[in-house]
Amino acid sequence: MGGEQYQGSDGITYQTDSLVLGDNKGTIYEAIKGSQDSALFQSYRFGDLTIQQPVENGSYEVTFKFAEPENPAIGERVFDVYAQGQLVIDELDIKLARDGKNKSELVRAVHDVTVTDGLLNIELKASKGQAILNALVVRKTTTTSVDIQTSNDWELVWNDEFDYEGKPDPNKWSYDIWPAGKVNDEDQTYTDLLENVQVKDGNLIITAHKEDYGNAKYTSGRIHSQGKGDLLYGRVEVRAKLPKGQGTWSAIWMLPSDPFKYETTCSQDEDWQGNSTCDAWPNSGEIDIMEHVGYDMQTIHGTVHNKAYYWVNSEQRKASFEGETVDQAFHVYSIEWTPEHIIVFFDETPYFFYSNESTGWEAWPFDHPYHVILNLAIGGSWGTAGGPIDDSIFPVSMEVDYVRVFKPLP
């Protein structure tokens, strides 16, 4: 917005914004953090904005890209985003959404924007301060701008359809049994109790309870496929229905099966998770297929972590998707992972693209096998960022219909 044509790292060509009503342009002179396309965010439009784009009738995904250009306090710039007259992003505070950081990329995608009159109409309206927008991507729901393989290109190599009863298949899954506070200041203890993790009626059900257990006030479950279902490059699909309620923090994600691949400060085989003296994390990487916190019910997040780009240095690479029914219906959360890139999807809509910059393991530790993790945390640093845990929500569950892992066909 307000700038020249630009070729993005995700293969998208960004055109000049001749269809924006108004002429309020701004420039950010500092480098934008958290982005592989910093130059895209150097210019922006501000004020109450209207964008009118002629398009074919149909259903569209619209991706909005922002970077806070100034240094407002949280709550000083708040605005809504409308598409075809419908509210699609409610009370967006860029600084709050970007963990209190300025001049860091924020990406929000919405889907099922239906055009019936040949004109896509986008509006940004501020309730506090002025709305801003750095870039906009519009694409048909049935098409994508990246080289995404079809179902015929994949071979199923590992899966769990959860078509049995009882505990998760021990040939495919292991439990993490952890006390509260081991990682992320989480408030639950993870157990192997059937009340926390069970397979029933065709689904894996991870349930958090409010109950005294050890030194914790909550219990929940976390399982992983390390050593039983590892993957280097391919596609991971998880069909799930997410929990609802203030204080929940559910995740479908991946960690390296050899966490010490790129460590520099650890003793081999030490307990590295939650260990501040061991840099196995973030050095050896993390891929978040889906994260969701209950205080922001409509938003799901895809993220990668590595030594070069993670939250400590304000360079975390991530994007978010507005999925309004995530607690009411099952959706498919997936990634496609190649030696060149990682793409994160919501129901086959790609919304986060991270490319291999070929600068070394610090930015691309994603060259060795990873495994799948499914968990439901309670509280913690992110789960309570929007306020305290709501004890009235318990018991609360995440349900998983299946986990499928594919390799590309030769």
pLDDT single digits (tens) 242-276: 999 999 999 999 999 999 999 999 987 889 999 99
- What pLDDT is recorded for position 141? 80
Distance CA(141)–CA(367), nearest Å, equals 31
155 is catalytic: no
Instruction: Identify whether the C-beta of residue 123 lies closer than 8 Å to the C-beta of residue 49.
Output: yes
Task: Tell me which of 108, 140, 172 is where a domain ends.
Answer: 140
Q: Which entry of 61, 237, 263, 286 is annotated as an active-site residue?
A: 286
Indicate the pairing of strand 216-220 with strand 188-190: parallel
Are 50 and 119 part of one and the same domain? yes
Q: Is 39 helix (H, G, I), strand (E, B) or coil?
A: helix
Indicate the pairing of strand 105-115 with strand 317-322: parallel
Are 190 and 79 part of one and the same domain? no
Domain assignment of residue 100, yes or no = yes
- Residues in contact with 236: Cβ distance below 8 Å, sequence separation at least 6, in sequence order: 254, 289, 334, 335, 337, 372, 403, 404, 405, 406
**Burial letters 292-319, b for 16+ CB under 10 A, else e:** bbbbbbbbbbbbbbbbbbbeeebbbbbb
Domain assignment of residue 245, yes or no = yes
Domain assignment of residue 88, yes or no = yes
Q: List phi, psi (to 5°) of 152.
A: -75, -10
Instruction: Identify whether the C-beta of residue 344 lies closer than 8 Å to the C-beta of residue 319.
Output: yes
**N- to C-terminal Cα distance for the chain?**
41
Distance CA(139)–CA(349), nearest Å, equals 10
CATH number at residue 28: 2.60.120.430
- What pLDDT is recorded for position 205? 99
Characterise 84 by phi-psi region: left (phi > 0), alpha (psi -120 to 50), beta (else).
left
Are 18 and 127 part of one and the same domain? yes
Cis peptide before 256 (omega within 30 of 0): no
C-beta atoms surrounding 397 within 10 Å: 24
Query: Which DSSP letter does residue 31 get?
Result: P
Are 98 and 168 part of one and the same domain? no
Instruction: Identify whether the C-beta of residue 378 lies closer than 8 Å to the C-beta of residue 188.
Output: yes
Task: Tell me which of 113, 140, 167 is where a domain ends.
Answer: 140
Total of domains in the chain: 2
Q: List phi, psi (to 5°) of 383.
A: -60, -30
Domain assignment of residue 145, yes or no = no
CATH number at residue 346: 2.60.120.200
Q: Which domain holds residue 326?
A: 151-408
Distance CA(385)–CA(383), nearest Å, equals 6
- Residues in contact with 44: Cβ distance below 8 Å, sequence separation at least 6, in sequence order: 1, 2, 25, 26, 27, 28, 66, 67, 69, 132, 133, 134
Are 158 and 292 part of one and the same domain? yes
Are 123 and 159 part of one and the same domain? no
Q: List phi, psi (to 5°) of 44.
A: -160, 165
- What pLDDT is recorded for position 151? 58
Q: Which entry of 61, 123, 186, 291 is annotated as an active-site residue?
A: 291
- What pLDDT is recorded for position 143? 44
- What pLDDT is recorded for position 19? 62
Give me 258's structure tokens. Answer: 């050899």
Are 178 and 81 part of one and the same domain? no
Are 23 and 58 part of one and the same domain? yes
Are 132 and 161 part of one and the same domain? no
Are 231 and 257 part of one and the same domain? yes
- What pLDDT is recorded for position 100? 67
Helix (H) or strand (E) holding 156: strand 154-160
Distance CA(318)–CA(387), nearest Å, equals 23
Are 97 and 52 part of one and the same domain? yes
Domain assignment of residue 360, yes or no = yes
Distance CA(128)–CA(96), nearest Å, equals 14
Distance CA(195)–CA(206), nearest Å, equals 8
* Residue among 366, 372, 374 nearest 254 (CA): 372
Task: Tell me which of 104, 121, 140 is where a domain ends.
Answer: 140
Positions of the chain with pLDDT lower than 50, given as ranges: 143-147
Are 360 and 214 part of one and the same domain? yes
Distance CA(74)–CA(245), nearest Å, equals 23
286 is catalytic: yes
